[in-house]
Amino acid sequence: MRIMLRCLNAALVAVCLACGLAAAGGPARAAPAILVDAATGEVLYAHRAFDRWHPASITKLMTAYLAFSAIRAGQLAPDSPVQISKNALDNPPSKMGFPVGTRITLSSALKMLIVKSANDIAVAVGETVGGSEPAFVELMNRTAGRLGMNATHFVNPHGLHDPNQYTSARDMAVLARAILHEFPQYEFLFSVPSIKVGKRVLRTHNRLVGRYPGATGMKTGYICSGGYNLVASAKRGGREYIAVVLGAPNGSYRALVAAHLLENGFDGMRGFTSGRYGSIESYRGRGAEPFDMRPYLCKPRSQRPPIPGSIASYGFEVPIAQGDADVEDSEEVDPMSRRGVAAIQVSSRRASSRAERIAALLAGPATGAPVNANGLLPADPLASMTLPRSIPFPPRTVTVATGGNAPAAAQAAAAPAVAASSLANNDAAALLRPSIPLPPRRPER
Contact between 418 and 434 under an 8 Å Cβ cutoff? The reply is: yes
Find residue 233's DSSP bridge partners: 217, 242
Task: Report the candidate in 160, 204, 130, 190 with the shortest Cα–Cα distance to residue 57.
Answer: 160
CA 343 to chain centre: 22
Which whole-number Å values give the CA distances from 86 to 131, 214, 377, in the listed order?
14, 40, 18
Single out the catalytic residue among 60, 95, 111, 116. 60
Single out the catalytic residue among 94, 107, 108, 117. 117
**Helix, strand, coil proportions of the chain in percent (round to 5)?**
30, 15, 55
Q: Please give the sequence-ordered ranges of beta strands (E in DSSP) within 198-268, or none if there are none.
A: 200-203, 215-223, 227-236, 239-248
Question: What's the CA gap between 437 and 381, in Å, rounded?
Answer: 15
Is residue 279 classed as helix, strand or coil in its secondary structure?
A: strand
Contact between 29 and 311 under an 8 Å Cβ cutoff? The reply is: yes
Q: Is 117 a catalytic residue?
A: yes
Contact between 186 and 68 under an 8 Å Cβ cutoff? The reply is: yes
DSSP 213: T
**Which residues are catalytically annotated?**
57, 60, 117
